[in-house]
Structure 1
């Protein structure tokens, strides 16, 4: 449990808390001071020692990042790689799968992230393969039993976005994993909104690949991401690009790395990785279970407040819900709601169809406002947000 005193300390260590009430953690959270100091400190070291020489001085810190990141998601150390974008890492691993053939099938959750869908759609259309949506349960979550009924020898991939970008739904990633594992079908999980918000154990999920960005709930810098690749699954992949780190020439032949760093490049933003290391260390110190409980408390309070406002509809699905709270205001677009709140120094997000195209289309939504809470938000900030949305809703009716 995170005490009030601990929350106050965390807020004091987050300069942005003095500037605004931030409810866009699902987009990018406010970094704590220790993250920023790690980044700036290394940049200063590069400016005096040289970037290559500075990197050589922090090899132990980078090794600790790999160890801590692996432990954070229940992986072996050689199963985690880093990059600048979760979508790019996911796309690189997807592109390394055996080529699709005519008649092959990819099964995805209705809430699949739009970037993943775009990569899959291009590959499927070129090969004459298909992308099919797994049916949902009554609460909107992906139905594992329905998935089981869809399987045959043409299914080449099952892909799930665990926590969708357009609302508070938490899909049952473990249930989907049990079906995928029993069928021997590769299973990819997009954990972009889960890292730092929910406890993650890749062995329990049963996924072959899991990706996440560092800038969201774990509070790392933008331009950092990680990907988990199960060690045995790595053997089935054939990357389309390698360099002197991932596939050096040895005696005239390319020698591919035998760990997940097969999908890293020799060039990396060292300062950002050090910042990510500090963010993961902080989340580990706080305990993800305590973080999850605090987020659930604040998100429940926010949903209740918004549901009491005339003209506001909370759009979240799911029996089990996350810290992403989606809503619409009658007569006013989500992007305008976001702009009006920004004028009051309150930050939220606004998502359109491209983010979760199949789910938004299925529910007839063009855009949703998204207020995402983090553990260091306060009940007072939640009340301020509810009051501000109520005023916007009343003004829209006039």
Structure 2
């Protein structure tokens, strides 16, 4: 079977106009089934009430757990719905009983919000976190990782696809090391869920966190956590309410036995139902086929940008994702992104490189343009992007006022810095 790109684009309202959306690592365009589920439940709430709508759509709420479990090759009782990937990652990380001197091993490409959490935990609990060296192509060095395991190692934490490196970390190899030493493995799959096929058992992770808004194509304000059944009972949530625990008596409570112990009572029901539909849609379309197309388009885009004078592609890794990051020698990243959006209806984003990427920062690159491709994108859209980039560079070279070096210019408030 092959992907029906025309049908995929018809299912995506944002593809039915003049927009070229290449900010899928920020937030993808929702497909109609997810959009219809989201709007339908909100409309129902407006007519009959929020609690009553939840009763009517109780099967759709439960379908979320089934759909996410099928996507990950896990079990429904291992899935919890959260309002973001950050919240999902936090409830897993802070469910650990941290003690003074405990060690976390992580990569130099780890997501910056996670790095802040490590620093915070170090200040609060006295833990240590150690950065595992990279290999020559930028991925985590699994031999170095294994050599750094010590009796105090309590967690291995890793981003599957870093926010702007283009690389894909060898998570199955990391999982084998984690299992061999009996160490829990927390995988940040924010960019990989929905982009490439995942099997939590093959990966060997203990916990997996992700968002709904990126490649999975769900709505903003949604995320989820998967926890291996063998570990659910070993993790104590940092917050409980009547969703995550049962008030058994006036002086006792019982924590839920499944992953719903990480949820709270009040939640975004419409978003949860829509995220379940987005997961079902991805499974029905075929994540493996979408992944093949994403890789093909991203490879083509890297070659096209590398052929442009003055542009540099900064992606690393042997196996690369649909995230393509680049910069220009004089055009600022903010200027490029704003011009693409304003003059060409092409969505990209400004992405700040990790502070641990010392070589990149030393070269003067602290921010990059990120073009992130999904399966509904076309080669014609990529060609239009490259043509627009070339035109911008030619205008600059023909005598337009020279911009500040791409990393010295403040980011425009309307653009922000995407993660």
TM-score by length of 1: 0.96
Shift of residue 395, structure 1, vs aligned partner:
2.6
User: For residues 189 and 128 of structure 1, what CA distance do their matches in structure 2 show?
Assistant: 22
Cα distance per residue 1:331-370 (max 9 Å; x no partner): 12212211111111000011114xx3323x3421310110
CA distance in 2: counterparts of 1:290 and 1:313, whole angstroms? 29
Runs of 5+ consecutive residues of structure 1 not aligned to the other structure: none
Equivalence map 1:315-330=2 (5 Å): 315-330=314-329
Within 5 A, what are the aligned runs for 1:1-398? 1-3=1-3, 6-17=4-15, 18-101=17-100, 103-252=101-250, 253-343=252-342, 344-353=344-353, 356-359=354-357, 361-364=358-361, 365-398=365-398
Tell me the distance in 2 between the aligned counterparts of 1:270 and 1:247: 19
Between stretches 366-375 and 34-43, larger displacement belongs to 34-43
Aligned counterparts of 2:359 and 2:99: Cα–Cα separation in 1 = 27
Alpha-carbon distance in 2 for matches of 1:225, 1:216: 10
In 2, are the aligned partners of 1:331 and 1:397 still within 8 Å (CA)? no
- 2:69, 2:383 → 1: CA distance? 37
Give 1:26 deviation, angstroms: 0.3
1:196/1:288 contact within 8 Å kept: yes
Contact conserved, 2:67 with 2:277, CA < 8 A, in 1? no
Partners of 2:208 and 2:359 in 1: CA distance: 26
Residue 110 of structure 1 deviates from its aligned partner by: 0.9
The answer to whether the Cα contact below 8 Å between 1:100 and 1:124 also exists between their aligned partners in 2 is no
Q: CA deviation at 1:251?
A: 1.9
- Which ranges in structure 2 are unaligned for 5 or more consecutive residues? 399-419
Q: Is the 8 Å Cα contact of residues 111 and 357 (structure 1) preserved in structure 2? A: no
- Matched length: 392
1:330–1:396 CA contact under 8 A, matched in 2 = no
**Contact 1:81/1:228 (8 A) holds in 2:** yes
Partner of 1:160, secondary structure, is: strand
CA distance in 2, matches of 1:73, 1:283: 11
Q: CA deviation at 1:122?
A: 0.6
Q: For 1:357 and 1:203, how far apart are their aligned partners in 2? A: 32
Q: Tell me how far 1:397 sits from its aligned partner.
A: 3.0
**Conserved? CA contact 2:63–2:273, under 8 Å:** no
Q: CA deviation at 1:125?
A: 2.5
1:297-355 CA deviation, whole Å, 9 max, x = no partner? 111111110010010000000010010001011112212211111111000011114xx
Deviation at 1:15, TM superposition (A): 1.7
Structure 1 Cα separation of the partners of residues 390 and 291 of structure 2: 27
CA distance in 2 between counterparts of 1:186 and 1:395 reads 53
Asked if the contact 2:88–2:210 (Cα under 8 Å) also holds between the matched residues in 1, the reply is: no
Distance 1:396 1:125, change over 3 A: farther
* 1:100 and 1:123 in contact (8 A); partners too: no
- Return the alpha-carbon distance in structure 2 between the equivalents of residues 22 and 162 of structure 1: 23
